[in-house]
Structure 1
């Protein structure tokens, strides 16, 4: 028998009492002057993080007025769009606004803040909150309905043991996520090092330009506004990848797309060059290049994604890589055999990184589901009659 089972058997064998949240908690009513808040202790709904990730430093701090005063161990919940699941257990005093619910426990001798936090961070609570929202375009939680949410009140030792278990599980999950993320970062750095070395030491490389080694198919592109697209099975590509699926296609084969415009040309948060295959439609936000061989196309794709292209990009608010500048980019291209050797090595390395990249979210999601399952089990009690 576990320690928790022993405590339940000793202290509440016949079940536990359930209370409305409003019976044991209330909303904060104290006020704090704007002069007393700063980026660290002001918490607006915009700096509460989605999916129960706590809070970040405020990007906006009020300069005047009086604001809701929260205290350490209060629970703050974003009341706009409850489906975003914004919640934070306060670690210090501070101020907030009316878009954030500040829940204060009336008597901590019967209800511990950490225990209540685990109850209110459950999907069950947020689903209940969403069922009672007001407004469609920007739904808000119903403050009265929130206080009618039913919560269990087991004895304090039971609450404390549940908090200990869930804290440990949370810590283990965080450690695993950090380890997997660090491994992925290391793999990517290793890949970048070998990629750059392979390009630098490529044998018999000579400079070529894209209009010399590929066919530009830009004149075949046709943009279609979203309202005029007919849904279908063929991918509709834009500057950074698939943006829709349509009922017809323009291209059929293997091509390299290169972003023509958009902020990503400078931000590089996603690859600006990417290969596509099969039947597809491409709009006028991506250049379309056709190569004679897989190795040359893939070599150029990897190379373009590895270099700084800012000197070829024009425009400020709307960065653009036009075809003229695209054809000015020098490509140090080795012999076909050397291209094949380098591409084969990098493809194998890329597969290892992609396996980890795809596996990481899946592993984190599995851990999250496991955690939520055990949390819901731990927070479910027989109702005392």
Structure 2
């Protein structure tokens, strides 16, 4: 089935000192969605000379990359040359590179290994204690269904159609999100007021409970970035805006720092609680803060913090209430479209599984 099964290497001493050269891809660059996950901040490099002397691990278009060790052993991605803005790249020692022979379609093998059954096969062949990993012998011993080439190609064609649908949906989501961002940017045409002038601060209602003292239940227990637990009691029964008070996410912004919580909830001391009289104002402030650079309001380096005083002084641009309500109505129309596309994307993995089942069982 395979013509190539190899792993890569890195220079002695690692790659930390190199700021440019040839990208070196490891397990952290393999996404859970079957795609390469490369950002400016997570790229690592090997010297050009090292790459040129390397005998293995050089990546080509449509190569299959598998994370071979660590907590996420078995993660798999199909590499496309436009996944990365470099003409050449190489894998490190934590990744296997697979290329099929003439009897096997490369995309077919990827789709098999990325399927739920394929992932089960990969994980069942992990050996070693603690973190464990996949070795060459175990990987080669995995049994893969191999129908005639024309059946493989038919499977790939049908799945490719779903991939195109997925890409189109993602493009639609990005378009609608950009439209929402435009509405929020246009708020800056209006005069600004302090956040404390339009929202009531309910931080005094917060009540932190250590994990060991919590009683499990059905009510969401909120922290700095959202729900962290479910508990047996609640301290609020309302709709409020929560804003992160501390944590690395205030700087990294991996997750929204402002988020709505509704109903019976418990909030700890890592999230500020704001209550608005008008739901349109609530909505616009949430969206605005999630797009706003708040670095000037944050204190602390090792432990970033947005204290209550600085939160109160954040400047918010707001039009008259009627205009706020009009803007929110338009944004909510876009959000409905985004949710429809997200639902479509969520259904695609199951449709892919159905294609494999139809042709192979």
Match in the other structure for 2:267: 282
- The 1:365–1:347 alpha-carbon spacing in structure 2 relative to 1, beyond 3 Å, is same
Q: Which of 306, 318, 325 is the aligned partner of 2:303?
A: 318
- What SS does the corresponding residue of 1:314 show, helix, strand or coil? coil
1:128 shift after superposition: 1.8
- What SS does the corresponding residue of 1:237 show, helix, strand or coil? strand
- Asked if residue 372 in structure 1 is aligned to residue 359 in structure 2, the reply is no
1:349 shift after superposition: 2.3
Aligned pairs for 1:295-314 (under 5 A) are: 295-314=280-299
- Asked if residue 189 in structure 1 is aligned to residue 178 in structure 2, the reply is yes
Structure-1-length-normalised TM-score: 0.71
Which whole-Å CA distance do the structure 2 matches of 1:27 and 1:255 have between them? 54
1:356 shift after superposition: 2.9
Which whole-Å CA distance do the structure 2 matches of 1:89 and 1:274 have between them? 35
Structure-2-length-normalised TM-score: 0.75
Which whole-Å CA distance do the structure 1 matches of 2:10 and 2:258 have between them? 52
Match in the other structure for 1:14: none
Which whole-Å CA distance do the structure 2 matches of 1:331 and 1:103 have between them? 53
After TM superposition, the structure 1 stretch with the greater mean CA deviation from structure 2, 56-65 or 240-249, is: 56-65
1:287 shift after superposition: 1.5
Q: Which of 319, 329, 341 is the aligned partner of 1:348?
A: 329
| Structure 2: stretches of 5+ with no match in the other structure | 82-86
Bigger CA radius of gyration: 1
Aligned pairs for 1:170-181 (under 5 A) are: 170-181=159-170
Aligned pairs for 1:1-385 (under 5 A) are: 27-28=5-6, 40=22, 42-54=24-36, 59-61=44-46, 69-70=56-57, 75-80=64-69, 81=71, 84-88=74-78, 96-102=91-97, 108=101, 110-111=103-104, 113=106, 115-135=108-128, 137-141=130-134, 143-154=136-147, 158-159=148-149, 161-197=150-186, 200=189, 208-331=193-316, 338-339=320-321, 341-380=322-361
- What SS does the corresponding residue of 1:253 show, helix, strand or coil? strand
Whether the aligned pair in 2 keeps the contact of 1:198 and 1:342 (CA below 8 Å) is: no
| Structure 1: stretches of 5+ with no match in the other structure | 1-20, 381-385
- What SS does the corresponding residue of 1:178 show, helix, strand or coil? helix
After TM superposition, the structure 1 stretch with the greater mean CA deviation from structure 2, 175-184 or 43-52, is: 43-52
Which whole-Å CA distance do the structure 2 matches of 1:266 and 1:112 have between them? 44
